[in-house]
Amino acid sequence: MSSRPKVRIYVTSWCGFCRAAKRLLDERQVPYEEIDLTGDDAARAEAAARHDWPTVPIVLAGDELIGGYTELAALDQSRGLDHLR
């Protein structure tokens, strides 16, 4: 059994930052679960409230909030994504 955190990313289809975050995870070969909130305003509001993050993408490693694309990219710059592969 792997101790690696499972990455989850909440997205919408029209969000450029969501596409950029998924592309970065794909390039770094970090497996993730995608939760598409497109067209479900209630689910989007609930995810934002639950994770205390107002916009998509909402990126989580296990139960820990990474943040959005900017925070994910900063984590990548510090090689923080390496342990998520």
What are the tokens at 12? 């919408």
29 phi and psi, to 5 degrees?
A: 55, 40
Question: Which pTM was predicted?
Answer: 0.91
83's CB contacts (< 8 A; 6+ apart) are: 4, 5
Domains and CATH numbers, the chain: 7-84 (3.40.30.10)
Residues 45-79 have pLDDT tens digits of: 999 999 999 999 999 999 899 999 999 999 999 99
